[in-house]
Structure 1
Amino acid sequence: MLVFAASDKGGTGRSVTSCNIAYRLSLAGNDVAYLDFDFGSPTAGAIFEISKIDCGADVGLHSYIGGTISSPYQVDVRATSDRSGLRMLHAKAGRLALFAGDRGGAEFPSSAEKVRRCIELFRRLDQEFKVCVVDLSAGRSHALHMALNATAAPEIRSIPVRWLVFHRWTRQHIVAAHSLVYGNDGLLDEGTRAGHGREALQDAIRFVRTAVPVLNSPLSADRPAQAKWLRTCNDELKQLALRNRLGHSATLGETPVEPVLQWREQVISDADVSGNLANAATVEAFDELARNLTDDGVWEGL
Structure 2
Amino acid sequence: MLIFAASDKGGTGRSVTSANLAYHRAMAGDDVCYLDFDFGSPTAAAVFDVGDARQATEDRGLHAYLIGEVSEPARIDVWAETEHQVLRFPPPGSGRLVLMPGDVSGGEFATSDDNLRRCVDLLMTLYYEFDLVIVDLSAGRSYAVDMVLEATAQTEMSEVTARWLVFHRWTRQHVGAAASLVFGKRGIVAGGVERGHGEDALRNSIRFVRAAVPDPESPLWSQVSPTQSAWMRKTDGDLKQLASTHGIGYSQVLGSVPLEPVLQWREQLITDEDVLDSQIANQETWQALSQLAGRLTDDKYWEQA
TM-score under structure 1 length normalisation: 0.97
Match of 1:223 in 2: 225
Query: Structure 2 counterpart of 1:18, which letter?
Result: S
Deviation of residue 210 (structure 1)?
A: 0.5
1:94-105 equivalence runs, <5 A: 94-105=95-106
Give the match for residue 236 of structure 1.
Answer: 238
In the aligned structure 2, how far is the partner of 1:148 from the partner of 1:99? 20
2:17 corresponding residue in structure 1 = 17
* 1:46–1:53 CA contact under 8 A, matched in 2: no
- The residue aligned with 1:141 is 142
Which residue identity is paired with 2:95?
Answer: G
- Mapped to 1, the partners of 2:26 and 2:205 lie a distance apart of 22
Inter-partner Cα distance in structure 2 for 1:163 and 1:216: 29
Letter matched to residue 198 of structure 1: E
Separation in 2, partners of 1:34, 1:233? 35
Q: What CA RMSD, in Å, does the superposition of the two structures yield over aligned residues?
A: 1.3
Where in structure 2 are there 5+ consecutive unaligned residues? none
Partners of 2:256 and 2:175 lie apart in 1 by: 13
Letter of the 1:264 partner, please give it: R
| Rounded Cα–Cα distance in structure 2 between residues aligned with 1:54 and 1:219 | 37
SS at match of 1:78: helix
Q: Secondary structure at the match of 1:105?
A: coil
Is the CA contact (8 Å cut-off) linking 1:44 and 1:54 kept in structure 2?
Answer: no
SS in 1 for 2:103: coil
Give the secondary-structure state (helix, strand or coil) at the position aligned to 2:303.
helix
Q: Deviations over 1:224-282 (max 9, x none)?
A: 00100000000000000000011110000010111211221000011111121111111
Aligned-partner residue type, residue 84 of structure 1: Q
Distance change (3 Å), C-alpha of 1:224 and 1:83: same
**In structure 2, how many angstroms separate the alpha carbons of the residues matched to 1:149 and 1:217?**
42
1:43-64 Cα deviation digits (max 9, x unpaired): 1000111122567733100111
Letter aligned with residue 172 of structure 2: R
Counterpart residue number, 2:4? 4
Q: Runs (4+) of structure 1 moved beyond 4 Å?
A: 53-56
Equivalent pair of 1:188/1:198 in contact (CA under 8 Å): yes
- Secondary structure of the 1:294 match is coil
Which deviates more from structure 2 when the two are superposed, residues 66-75 or residues 29-38? Answer: 66-75
What is the one-letter code of the residue matched to 2:197? H
What is the DSSP-based 3-state SS (H/G/I as helix, E as strand, rest coil) of the residue aligned with 1:41? coil
Asked if 2 retains the 8 angstrom alpha-carbon contact of 1:19 and 1:34, the reply is yes
Paired residues in the alignment total: 302
Aligned partner letter, 1:229: W
Give 5+ residue unaligned stretches, structure 1: none
Q: Structure 1: which amino acid aligns with 2:49? A: E
Of the structure 1 ranges 53-62 and 272-281, higher mean CA displacement relative to structure 2 is found in: 53-62
Aligned counterparts of 1:273 and 1:134: Cα–Cα separation in 2: 27
Tell me the equivalent position of 2:264.
262
